[in-house]
């Protein structure tokens, strides 16, 4: 299930601007939908775990660079378990060695797909709004032209007598 910026801010007990700043500062650890620029940000479950983890680290007084280092050393499972990291590096750097490990990446691909679908939906909604504005403007211009033509016809009919 996708969460949007307002709900993410509420869940982390921070402002909307803080969430936006975190998306900019820690975007490498979030899905593409969370780092969207010019579209509605959509956070998946892992993104929400990362944001809550960042909020917790910030509440402990940790600064940006230290948080980036901690995120680089932390895996998704460790965030869930709330245990210190023993791994140095990112999960993305570890190649699956068996077919079953490769299957474990399918949920991550599904999450990425959902994030992309959310971005597409946001772009389609923005496009619909623009279309509605253009349609209303076009109708207004047509009505104005019809009114002007009607006035010219009336002036010609009654002005000629």
- pLDDT tens-place string over residues 23-46: 888 888 888 888 777 667 888 888
Walk me through the domains of the chain, giving residue ranges and CATH numbers.
3-159 (1.10.1660)
| Per-residue model confidence as pLDDT tens digits over 104-155 | 455 666 677 777 787 787 777 766 666 677 778 888 899 999 999 999 998 8
Distance CA 76, CA 79 (A): 5
Distance CA 148, CA 93 (A): 69
Q: Is the pLDDT of residue 78 over 60?
A: no
Mean pLDDT of 59-67: 91
* Pure H helices in the chain: 5-12, 16-25, 45-59, 64-73, 76-81, 99-103, 106-159
Mean pLDDT of 20-24: 90
pLDDT of residue 104: 47
Q: Decide which of 61 and 159 is more confident.
A: 61
Answer whether 0.75 is exceeded by the pTM.
Answer: no
Mean pLDDT of 76-95: 42
Asked if 57 contacts 17 with a C-beta cutoff of 8 angstroms, the reply is no
- Taking all residues of the chain, what is their mean pLDDT, rounded to a whole number? 76
Task: Give the number of other CB atoms < 10 A from CB of residue 136.
Answer: 10
């Amino acid at each position: 299930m996708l969460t949007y910026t307002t709900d993410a801010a509420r869940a982390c007990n921070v402002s909307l601007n803080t969430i936006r700043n975190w998306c900019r500062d820690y975007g490498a650890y979030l899905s593409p939908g969370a780092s969207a620029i010019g579209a509605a940000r959509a956070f998946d479950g892992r993104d929400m775990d990362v944001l809550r983890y960042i909020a917790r680290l910030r509440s402990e007084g940790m600064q940006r660079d230290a948080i980036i280092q901690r995120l680089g050393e932390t895996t998704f499972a460790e965030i869930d378990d709330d245990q210190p990291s023993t791994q140095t590096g990112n999960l993305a750097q570890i190649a699956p060695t068996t077919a079953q490990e490769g299957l474990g990446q399918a949920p991550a691909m599904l999450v990425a797909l959902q994030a992309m679908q959310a971005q597409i939906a946001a772009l389609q909604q923005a496009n619909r709004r623009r279309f509605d504005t253009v349609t209303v403007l076009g109708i207004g211009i047509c009505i104005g032209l019809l009114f002007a033509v009607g006035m010219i016809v009336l002036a010609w009919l009654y002005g000629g007598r």
